[in-house]
Structure 1
């Protein structure tokens, strides 16, 4: 249960207050580096878990939770500092909340879930780029952020379609002849 990938995930949880303290102290670029470090630990823990067959139920639950908690901290810090609008933050939160609640409901109903797909992973990378643009106050940062929000909703729609197809196939295979 306490293997290297899970410890990296726990380390990501510990990076959240570090990020917030650094950001609040006015070191926004350094805070971005903390955020980037958290993202790298996410990639590393997933790689190690799959490569060494160390995937655990605990890790499967904590990993996305750590990601969402870090993203919430980053988005809230950007909103409260005036670097992004409440509208953008709300769109991001609604999408993430919908995915979290929907996944939990379907999981507890015994439905099959779709693993993260390449569009979902691409969306994560695009969010990192958007946050980089915002923190460094680069041109078109807000337009790009809204583009990424739109892509994230598209990724969610594709995920829902895949989820429905997967569970329809499962229910058809369980029908007695």
Structure 2
């Protein structure tokens, strides 16, 4: 268990989680947007590296499989709360993104009746998260005046629209996957 706990991928995921409140503070208190974007960039790079390193070294762990999506969800929640409080995104958007995760989380007890704790992540879910991880820094950068801010806002909203659509589509596919699993797998004692 000790080896499983202290792997480089797990430490990278832990760093991502620790940086979530730092990001929120940067966005809300000093409104240090460039530093907040830097935190998002570090988060994106470490998100990529933790999975790549784990697979390349054969050090995938149950803890890592838990930490990585938790870090992703915490960043999405922190960003939508921060951008919502700053009026960079509308509140309906700040609600519908985490709502998808609440809906999917509510399916976990049903999965457990069949001996599963989670569903495997599929490409569409990863693509949706990647789109949102591009969208958020651009929206933050677009909160200003000038050509760069205008361009960032346009691309940020384009990535947001695609990211939200893919995020919910992936959520629907996960729900269908749960339904099929419940129909095809006997209950575990």
Same fold (TM over 0.5): yes
DSSP-derived class of the 2:31 partner = coil
Note if contact 1:84-1:142 (Cα within 8 Å) is conserved in structure 2: no
1:39 corresponds to:
44
DSSP-derived class of the 1:36 partner = helix
Note if contact 2:9-2:64 (Cα within 8 Å) is conserved in structure 1: yes
TM-score, scaled relative to structure 2: 0.79
Give RMSD over aligned pairs: 2.4
1:162 corresponds to:
177
- Residue in structure 2 matching 1:61, options 66, 69, 74: 66
Whether 1:119 and 2:124 are equivalent positions in the alignment is yes
TM-score, scaled relative to structure 1: 0.84
**What are structure 2's unaligned runs of at least 5 residues?**
143-152
- Residue in structure 1 matching 2:17, options 13, 18, 22: 13
Summarize the alignment of residues 17-166 of structure 1 with structure 2, pairs less than 5 Å apart.
Answer: 17-23=21-27, 24-102=29-107, 104-112=108-116, 113-137=118-142, 138-139=153-154, 141-142=156-157, 145-166=160-181
Deviation at 1:141, TM superposition (A): 4.3
Note if contact 2:17-2:71 (Cα within 8 Å) is conserved in structure 1: yes
